């Protein structure tokens, strides 16, 4: 794959973002939401999300070349759709297609997929294929334009594990479900009866990683409920590990626990802290790819979602210069690392101010962390 990676991206890169394209999933999601924010009031448009019940093309599961071979088989069909209808938004992530355009043309595109796909081993799962747009001029409900059994969500669609919507309750609901599932998993940690393993799992795969994709792709103002739920569960989990549910675990201990280990913490990232910068980092990191996906759409500028996220980030980092993040040409090359380091350093520095720590007490912060780890190892 390494030998053909550049050629593959060059051949597939206009419409396929699932092979050899970093941040492809997030870029497609951000692009779809930017398009929706710009044209949500145009009732002639329709958004189609394609789902296949059978995507067998001769490759075997686990084959490292499987995704590449699959997309090579799919690509002629994708090109046929675009050449026939000049769709303003046309993006695929492996077999997940997202198509936005005039409702009549989108319906014809669906007809092509339904008629030409079986020869490629691609059979539509029409009950999981959806057509969506928040406004309608009557065209989309015209009899026989779209199959009667096709999904017709009204508030938004779930795409590639994220949300494409302008509806606050739809977006927050998806985020809340993900947070609830993550907290439920944390609740099973005590069954291990091994604090060392519990802490390791909580830090590496049961922590904010379960929520990170949602935080990177959902508008920050819509995930407050999910963030609160997640952090409450995370705090309870680490409290059970450190003091077995007993006393002596307060706000100071919680803030120390959520700092990186290099700053004297336990490396358990708080969802509230991550939510402050994750969306901005993801948007700026995939900015160039988004603009490529949107090249035929007429969408060129940033939207209100990004501006709002920058404002919220400024509240967390009032002294940090965010001016470079307003333009793709000046945004840092590693925005996630840049913003995460800035926020963690500010939190670490604020411990002395917020809790009025003496120099001796400040020195004890690392001692507290070491004692916590010793307790975990000694059970």
**How many structural domains compose the chain?**
2
Could you tell me if 270 and 333 are in contact, meaning their C-beta atoms sit under 8 angstroms apart? no
- pLDDT tens digits along 4-51: 767 888 888 899 999 888 899 999 999 999 999 999 999 999 999 998
Indicate the helix (H) or strand (E) that contains 63.
none
- Of 112, 132, 166, the residue at which a domain comes to its end is 166
- pLDDT tens digits along 239-292: 888 877 667 778 888 888 888 877 777 888 889 999 999 999 999 999 999 999
For residues 154 and 203, membership in a common domain is answered with no
For residues 285 and 155, membership in a common domain is answered with no
For residues 238 and 368, membership in a common domain is answered with yes
For residues 367 and 318, membership in a common domain is answered with yes
Low-confidence ranges of the chain (pLDDT < 70): 1-3, 5, 54-56, 58-61, 245-246, 352-379
φ, ψ at 115 (rounded to 5°): -90, -35
For residues 113 and 219, membership in a common domain is answered with no
Whole-number pLDDT of residue 263: 74
For residues 93 and 211, membership in a common domain is answered with no
Q: Which residue has the tokens 């969506």?
A: 132
For residues 198 and 151, membership in a common domain is answered with no
Residues 6+ apart with CB under 8 A from 155: 134, 165, 167, 169, 170
Whole-number pLDDT of residue 183: 93
Whole-number pLDDT of residue 219: 92
Could you tell me if 210 and 178 are in contact, meaning their C-beta atoms sit under 8 angstroms apart? yes
For residues 178 and 324, membership in a common domain is answered with yes
pTM for this prediction: 0.88
Looking from the CA of 105 toward its CB, the CA atoms found within 13 Å total 17
CATH code (residue 139):
3.30.70
Residue ranges making up the domain that contains 130: 5-166
- Of 138, 166, 194, the residue at which a domain comes to its end is 166
Looking from the CA of 176 toward its CB, the CA atoms found within 13 Å total 10
- Of 166, 200, 233, the residue at which a domain comes to its end is 166
For residues 213 and 134, membership in a common domain is answered with no
Whole-number pLDDT of residue 208: 83
Whole-number pLDDT of residue 355: 47
Could you tell me if 81 and 108 are in contact, meaning their C-beta atoms sit under 8 angstroms apart? no
Question: What would the two tokens of residue 222 be?
Answer: 């819509």
For residues 123 and 209, membership in a common domain is answered with no
Whole-number pLDDT of residue 374: 47
For residues 156 and 177, membership in a common domain is answered with no
For residues 182 and 326, membership in a common domain is answered with yes
C-alpha dist (Å) from residue 348 to 173, 242, 255, 261, 342:
32, 20, 9, 11, 10
């Amino acid at each position: 794959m390494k030998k053909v990676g550049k050629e593959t991206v060059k051949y597939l890169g206009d419409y396929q973002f699932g092979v050899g394209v970093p941040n492809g999933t997030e870029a497609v999601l951000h692009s779809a939401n930017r398009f929706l924010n710009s044209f949500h009031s145009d009732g002639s448009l329709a958004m189609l999300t394609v789902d296949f019940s059978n995507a067998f093309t001769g490759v075997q599961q686990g084959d490292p070349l499987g995704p590449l071979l699959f997309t090579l088989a799919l690509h002629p069909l994708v090109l046929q759709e675009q050449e026939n209808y000049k769709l303003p938004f046309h993006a695929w992530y492996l077999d997940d297609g997202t198509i936005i355009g005039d409702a009549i043309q989108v319906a014809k595109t669906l007809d092509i997929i339904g008629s030409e796909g079986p020869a490629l081993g691609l059979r539509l799962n029409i009950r999981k294929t959806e057509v969506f747009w928040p406004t309608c001029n009557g065209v989309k409900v015209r009899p026989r334009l779209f199959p009667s059994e096709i999904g017709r969500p009204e508030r938004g669609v779930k795409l590639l594990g994220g949300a494409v919507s302008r509806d606050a309750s739809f977006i927050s609901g998806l985020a809340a479900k993900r947070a609830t599932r993550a907290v439920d998993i944390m609740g099973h940690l005590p069954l291990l009866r091994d604090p060392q393993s519990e802490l390791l799992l909580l830090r590496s795969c049961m922590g904010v990683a379960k929520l990170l994709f949602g935080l990177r792709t959902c508008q920050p103002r819509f995930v407050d409920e999910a963030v609160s739920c997640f952090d409450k569960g995370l705090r309870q989990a680490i409290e059970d590990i450190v003091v077995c549910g007993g006393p002596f675990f307060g706000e100071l201990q919680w803030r120390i626990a959520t700092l990186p280990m290099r700053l004297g913490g336990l490396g358990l990232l708080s969802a509230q802290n991550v939510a402050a910068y994750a969306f901005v980092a993801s948007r700026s990191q995939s900015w160039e790819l988004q603009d490529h996906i949107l090249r035929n759409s007429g969408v060129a500028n940033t939207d209100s979602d990004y501006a709002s996220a920058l404002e919220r980030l400024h509240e967390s980092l009032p002294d940090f210069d965010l001016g470079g993040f307003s333009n793709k040409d000046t945004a840092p090359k590693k925005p996630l690392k840049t913003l995460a380091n800035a926020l963690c350093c500010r939190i670490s520095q604020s411990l002395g101010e917020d809790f009025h720590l003496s120099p001796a007490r400040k020195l004890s912060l690392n001692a507290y962390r070491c004692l916590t780890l010793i307790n975990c190892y000694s059970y």
